[in-house]
Structure 1
Amino acid sequence: MLNLFKDEPQSINSFFLFMQSLVNRNLVAEALRVSEARYRNLLENMDLGVVYLNNAGTIISANQAAEQILGLHLNNMMGRPLSETCSRIVREDGSVLPHEQHPVMSALRTGKPVENVVMGLVDHARQNHTWLMTSSVPEFRPGERRPHQVFMTLADITQQKLAEKELNLASVIVNNTGEGIIVADQDNKIISVNPAFTILTGFSRQDVFGKKAYFLQSKKNAIKINEELHNSRKNGNSWQGEIWHRRKNSDDFPCWTTINQVKDADGKTTHYVYVVMDITHLKKAQNRLGFLAYHDPLTQLPNRMLLRDRINHSLQNARREGSQVAVLFLDLDRFKIINDTYGHAVGDSLLKEVARRIKNLVRKEDTVSRYAGDEFIVLMEDFSDAKSPAKLARKLIEIFNVPMEVKGHSLQITTSVGISLFPRDGDDTDSLIKNADTAMYRAKKEGRNNFQYYNPELTTQAFEKMAMESDLRQSIDKDELILYYQPQVCLNTGNVVGIESLVHWQHPTMGLMPSARFMSIAEESGFILAMGEWMVEAACKQMRHWLNEGAPVNKIVVNVSAVQLRRSDFVATVERILHEHGLSPHCLELEISENSFADNVEPIIKSLNGLAEAGIDLTITNFGKGNFSLLNLKRIPVKKLKIDSLFVSEMLRNPNYEDILRSVIALGHSLNLKVIAQGIESEAQQKRLTELDCDMGQGHFYYLPALPSANFFAK
């Protein structure tokens, strides 16, 4: 068993040793005759407990220390048997000590001293033990063979026992922990190891005893690590880091090692304790993660991150050498039909076969990447003329003409290819990829299963979209985004029950635009994350302003997108904004479009549940237009369904739309959900919705979307 600390029991007080030596009754008597008063004073002021008992085991005297140890006043002890001073006396193993085996009774019975016996006094009220080291010395009168009394000493060793228990526990932990532990002396020589160390390295204690701990290190990092350890010891600090160690069979393996210094009461280092954890599997996992960070896990091809890096590198070489670079953008024609018909397992196997065929066709120096979904990109470098990419494109199209055998299915699939060239079609990675993508879409429009070079005339719309995306990214910094507000009302009372915020963009040249003009661009570009956070922030700020003014508004409503909900930190972001503006979560309602649940719904559902747990109300908007799963509706803690305006605008002219409205309202109420209709523009619509038992409404009939300065609360 590994013993990290060694603690010898302290010797008994010198006077106790003196008192123990007074076995000879004549010496005691002589001492008492010399100065009984002085003896009594000394007895009362010593730390050692002293108790006198007669030959029947009854207490006849005790000093103050004994009173404190036993927890009884002398008056309560006098004339009582020792066994009555404590409800229970136990041995070290916890078993009850019978009265006849008490050291006092043994000394009376045998006439011999009973020394250094450890026993425990159980205090049931406090549920603890007082541990004592006790000695009992019999005293005889001249000429008598049986003792007339016993002199018993008591030393409280409770703290020592607790320390021993902690040391034993530490020893058990050290010997059963899964990490290797090495203990070295102040000269860094190994003096002890635990079993886990032997299992980890193959070295036994005998193999390493007396050797410097450094000998376990692999040579590949010894110099650097030794320098760090030297500085750590010099500064009196602990050290931790990755070290390569060696096993007894000479194999090297990586370890996460922590080295702590053990110091004495004077601050001097007495030992070093090494804790060694094998991180071989972790390193393998890191390497695997490093591969996955730059490769597609399905096809093992470079992903878009690695592709971009390689295109950037190839452009640097091309600029230096005056050569060309080609980007071929491939998209599988009608892949979605195959995926939907045969399932994702077949679709994934098809993609792997596609990747294999492309990889086998191109040159070794070309890069093949799975860019996204069923899109692949081939990067060509160092080719002779602009016709070379076209030749490769034809070959790629031809290899897809051969059916692919996938999981027992013979599948026929074609591809459309777009080509962009450096420097003619773009001077940077983004331009080349976008222009190749544009050319690929032209190939699809030309009937699929063909290739097209990039043509600038065909990208006018694409450039306009790019320009709008660029402007949109600057809209927050330029204070161009504006929130308009439209109240929601109770259909029965007409009271405002909430106010929805609607984002608009004050474009510098195109004027004020509603969200429908730019929301898709925001989502596709990823700008929706920044814009969505701005919307929540601005709406909560306005809500706080209304509450400070005493406005009768209970809830602010904000639309959020699926892109936002897939962010793992979205719930925390919303909670932070509410806290910063001093708003209760119940002041905020978030609307999520039904279309958000078309793909990858699990992270969205997780976020929605987190929002609901935080106390934020949720509404599914545009309900009824998509293919929303009722199963998902049961998994999402929404409070409200918002009927799409199309049904409201057509319900008075088309009975089918009214039937849909009736069904949605009934569905919502059956699930204990409120139902709100948007796009109400006439009294007739309001009346019919009220008759259908719709709960709330929103539209131009009540309020037009307006700036916060509009007095919504005057009506």
Structure 2
Amino acid sequence: MSVLHVTEPAQLAPEWDELISGLNIGVLLTDERGQVLATNDVAAELMQLSRTDLLTGARPAGWQVRDDTGAPMPDWAELAGQVLRAGSSLSIPLVIARSGQPLSRIWADYHAVRVQGRSRVLVVLQSVHTDVSHSHGLLDPLTGLPGRVLLLDRLEQSLVRARSRGMLTTLVLVDVNRLVEFNAEFGFDRGDDLLRTLADRLREGLSDEYTVARYGGDEFAVVAEHPSGAGEEIAVQVREVAGWPVRVGRRSVRPGLRVSWVTTDGHASVHTVLARAEQQLQYGGRR
């Protein structure tokens, strides 16, 4: 969704309520500061709040919203500002919890809209089902890891947290070198097995707080947050986890890997961070 023109709900409350009350998805309309201007009962139920709480900003004791890695989400003002600045949609998986106990998991789709000439954010909420991630195109079907779209969302969120909390974000790219030659020698099925093996190693061998994603056909990405350092230790760990030999038939083959990394305090853009990491890979990476 790019630009949608609707009438300010405060002026046509009955029409707005009639429009959204019968929907089976949650709807929120917020201003640029994240203040909820209008909502429906489905949104309140998914968020484990009352409509009054949503509209006033009140939250019960212990109520929390986190991403699906368990990390606290940026506040709604930050997300609204991000969507409006970018002028594009943003899809984020959310976990609603109270006193640390998960209550519901939902997808939140943020869209920049125009309401009587004013910038607003329309948030569509849906309950998470087993196929939601795939239908959103966010999970890689081969490895089950987050795909490129979700990686960009996660990296953007990490940069926001780094800026606001004085932390660092490191992006590590891992290129499976000579995958074409591997496929030619052993077949595409073996090549797929290799990618799945590397994905499992990265997912299981690294911290649960890291985001591991499939960035491209023969590339993986890892996003990590840390208080200090240059990120080299994280890159070394990634290489060690992924670099063990792989059994191919009766042979033991060590995957050829190129690794690059970029560490930032969050003031670089997503595309700047990715471009720097890709440039390092292009010039040979760090073997």
TM-score, normalising length: structure 2: 0.52
Show the 5 A alignment for 1:599-618.
none
Partner Cα distance (1:348, 1:440) in 2: 22
CA displacement 1:160-210 (0-9 Å, x = unmatched): xxxxxxxxxxxxxxxxxxxxxxxxxxxxxxxxxxxxxxxxxxxxxxxxxxx
Match of 1:441 among 274, 282, 285: 282
CA displacement 1:328-358 (0-9 Å, x = unmatched): 1110111111111111100000000011111
Q: Do 2:214 and 2:220's aligned partners in 1 also have CA atoms closer than 8 Å?
A: yes
2:246 maps to a residue whose letter is M
Match of 2:171 among 324, 327, 331: 327
Matched, 1:291 2:124: no
Q: Do 1:302 and 1:370's aligned partners in 2 also have CA atoms closer than 8 Å?
A: yes
Match of 2:261 among 419, 422, 425: 419
CA displacement 1:65-96 (0-9 Å, x = unmatched): xxxxxxxxxxxxxxxxxxxxxxxxxxxxxxxx
2:134 maps to a residue whose letter is F
Q: Do 1:418 and 1:441's aligned partners in 2 also have CA atoms closer than 8 Å?
A: no
Tell me what 2:224 maps to. Answer: 380
Tell me what 2:233 maps to. Answer: 391
CA displacement 1:78-116 (0-9 Å, x = unmatched): xxxxxxxxxxxxxxxxxxxxxxxxxxxxxxxxxxxxxxx
Tell me what 2:271 maps to. Answer: 430
The 1:313–1:348 alpha-carbon spacing in structure 2 relative to 1, beyond 3 Å, is: same
Show the 5 A alignment for 1:74-153.
none
Displacement of 1:317 in angstroms is 1.0
Partner Cα distance (2:132, 2:251) in 1: 33
The 1:408–1:286 alpha-carbon spacing in structure 2 relative to 1, beyond 3 Å, is: farther
Tell me what 2:202 maps to. Answer: 358
Displacement of 1:285 in angstroms is 11
Tell me what 1:342 maps to. Answer: 186
Tell me what 1:367 maps to. Answer: 211
Give the length in aligned residue pairs.
Answer: 164
Q: Do 2:174 and 2:257's aligned partners in 1 also have CA atoms closer than 8 Å?
A: yes
Matched, 1:317 2:166: no
Greater RCO, 1 or 2 (C-alpha within 8 Å, sep 6+)? 2
CA displacement 1:29-72 (0-9 Å, x = unmatched): xxxxxxxxxxxxxxxxxxxxxxxxxxxxxxxxxxxxxxxxxxxx
Partner Cα distance (1:369, 1:399) in 2: 15
1:311 maps to a residue whose letter is L
SS of 2:212 mapped into structure 1: strand
Partner Cα distance (1:337, 1:418) in 2: 22
The 1:305–1:441 alpha-carbon spacing in structure 2 relative to 1, beyond 3 Å, is: same
Displacement of 1:323 in angstroms is 1.5
The 1:367–1:393 alpha-carbon spacing in structure 2 relative to 1, beyond 3 Å, is: same
Tell me what 2:58 maps to. Answer: none
Partner Cα distance (2:224, 2:192) in 1: 26
Q: Higher strand proportion, which one?
A: 2
CA displacement 1:400-458 (0-9 Å, x = unmatched): 4421114554222121111112138x6111110111111122334xxx6x2xxxxxxxx
Show the 5 A alignment for 1:484-633.
none
The 1:355–1:383 alpha-carbon spacing in structure 2 relative to 1, beyond 3 Å, is: farther
Q: Do 1:400 and 1:414's aligned partners in 2 also have CA atoms closer than 8 Å?
A: no
Displacement of 1:287 in angstroms is 4.5
1:353 maps to a residue whose letter is T
2:218 maps to a residue whose letter is D
Q: Do 1:420 and 1:439's aligned partners in 2 also have CA atoms closer than 8 Å?
A: no
The 1:340–1:285 alpha-carbon spacing in structure 2 relative to 1, beyond 3 Å, is: farther
Partner Cα distance (1:398, 1:421) in 2: 19
Partner Cα distance (1:325, 1:284) in 2: 30
Partner Cα distance (1:320, 1:411) in 2: 44
SS of 1:402 mapped into structure 2: coil
Partner Cα distance (1:403, 1:343) in 2: 18
1:288 maps to a residue whose letter is D
SS of 1:416 mapped into structure 2: strand
The 1:284–1:379 alpha-carbon spacing in structure 2 relative to 1, beyond 3 Å, is: closer
Q: Do 2:172 and 2:262's aligned partners in 1 also have CA atoms closer than 8 Å?
A: yes
1:343 maps to a residue whose letter is G
1:434 maps to a residue whose letter is A
Q: Higher helix proportion, which one?
A: 1
The 1:284–1:404 alpha-carbon spacing in structure 2 relative to 1, beyond 3 Å, is: farther
* Runs of at least 5 residues in structure 1 that lack an aligned partner in the other structure: 1-223, 229-282, 451-715
SS of 1:377 mapped into structure 2: strand
Partner Cα distance (2:243, 2:158) in 1: 31
1:335 maps to a residue whose letter is L
SS of 2:131 mapped into structure 1: helix
Partner Cα distance (1:401, 1:299) in 2: 17
Partner Cα distance (1:393, 1:442) in 2: 17
2:190 maps to a residue whose letter is V
Q: Do 2:202 and 2:242's aligned partners in 1 also have CA atoms closer than 8 Å?
A: no
SS of 1:327 mapped into structure 2: strand
Aligned-residue CA RMSD (Å): 2.7
2:178 maps to a residue whose letter is R
Displacement of 1:396 in angstroms is 2.6
Q: Do 2:166 and 2:227's aligned partners in 1 also have CA atoms closer than 8 Å?
A: no
Partner Cα distance (1:310, 1:384) in 2: 20
1:290 maps to a residue whose letter is S
Partner Cα distance (1:399, 1:321) in 2: 29
SS of 1:385 mapped into structure 2: coil
Partner Cα distance (2:212, 2:271) in 1: 17
2:173 maps to a residue whose letter is F
The 1:290–1:337 alpha-carbon spacing in structure 2 relative to 1, beyond 3 Å, is: same
Displacement of 1:289 in angstroms is 4.6
Partner Cα distance (1:284, 1:407) in 2: 43
Partner Cα distance (2:127, 2:160) in 1: 33
Q: Do 1:366 and 1:378's aligned partners in 2 also have CA atoms closer than 8 Å?
A: yes
The structure with the largest alpha-carbon Rg is: 1
Displacement of 1:324 in angstroms is 1.1
1:413 maps to a residue whose letter is P
Q: Do 1:326 and 1:419's aligned partners in 2 also have CA atoms closer than 8 Å?
A: yes
Displacement of 1:370 in angstroms is 0.3
Partner Cα distance (2:130, 2:245) in 1: 36
1:349 maps to a residue whose letter is D
CA displacement 1:135-182 (0-9 Å, x = unmatched): xxxxxxxxxxxxxxxxxxxxxxxxxxxxxxxxxxxxxxxxxxxxxxxx
Tell me what 1:302 maps to. Answer: 146
Displacement of 1:395 in angstroms is 2.5
Q: Do 2:213 and 2:220's aligned partners in 1 also have CA atoms closer than 8 Å?
A: yes
* Runs of at least 5 residues in structure 2 that lack an aligned partner in the other structure: 1-17, 23-125
1:427 maps to a residue whose letter is A
